[in-house]
Amino acid sequence: MLCLEHGLSIIEKPGLSKGHNRAEYLGGDKTPSVRDRLRDLIDASISAGMSFDGFIEKVKAAGCEVKRGKHLAFKIPDGKRFIRCDSPGENYTENALLERISGSRVTAPKQKGATSITSTTKPSLLIDIQAKMQQGKGEGYRHCATTFNLKEMSKTLIFLSENGIEDYDDLVEKSAAASGEYNDRLAKIKAVEERLGEISELQKHIGTYGKTREVYAQYKASGWDKNFYEQFRADITLHKAARKYFDEHGYGKNKKLPSM
């Protein structure tokens, strides 16, 4: 029951697991190899009509590192080393990838049951007991799963009752309201973050201005002496940048510069 509640697998006959790895014992497919995972990642990222650079950026966005040199190579997420693109097979060489992008090469669809690192499954609170039984689960599993599903349905009914949700329309309405409130708060958070960024930038320039003001005053009193400028070039440059920032943001006669 604890395993079911936390989404963990159940070992029904522990004595039979000796000599088998976890994937074999649970009846799943063989754990995909690094090259299998690379094929899946490339297949999910490539499409006809896109640019090659666009394909590379999409692969990177999926968490894959790319090395472009004499040979194109990839390192999948959590991979230990780079793999040349021609290693997974003839449909994955650099020329083959270009042909697939141009549409002149069409690869066969992935076989049913193949694992993709980019695939996702829709979560569900209830266990599909019938499907599990067809996979060879025993009567003990049926009993535990039935009890688990009943508990989850009870929790759902209690939640709906406590929140005054009497029918599906109420659920949709409250969900929409919660979604709208979330979006409003997210917009406010973004506005606050932008304002914090502006304040941080202003504080940086105020600090720089205060630290370099004396040096700049001396530079001005020297009649803009070139030797003085070369000696204090960094401070003078920073001071000018701070003054430029203040001018661009309206700090001056009509808008007093705030304190730190």
Please write the tens of the pLDDT for every residue from 62-101: 888 998 878 889 998 888 889 888 888 888 888 888 888 8
> Does 153 fall in a domain?
yes
Total domains in the chain come to 3
Tell whether 82 and 125 lie within a shared domain: no
Residues 143 and 177 in one domain: no
Say if residue 78 is in the same domain as residue 201: no
Choose among 48, 46, 58, 41: nearest CA to 119: 41
Whether residue 178 is found in the same domain as residue 153: no
The residue type at 38? L
Range of the domain at 157: 2-13+121-162
Residues 59, 41 contacting (CB under 8 angstroms): yes
Nearest residue to 93 (alpha-carbon basis) of 103, 105, 80, 79: 105
Residues 59 and 98 placed together within one structural domain of the fold: yes
- Please indicate, yes or no, if residue 179 is contained in any of the structural domains: yes
Q: pTM for this one?
A: 0.38
- Are 200 and 177 within 8 A, CB to CB? no
Do 186 and 232 have their domain in common? yes
CA angle 159, 165, 169 (to 5 degrees): 135
Average pLDDT over the chain, rounded to an integer: 80
Do 54 and 175 belong together in one domain? no
Q: Do residues 73 and 67 lie in contact, with contact meaning Cβ atoms separated by under 8 Å?
A: yes
> Are residues 57 and 83 part of one domain?
yes
More confident residue, 104 or 259: 259
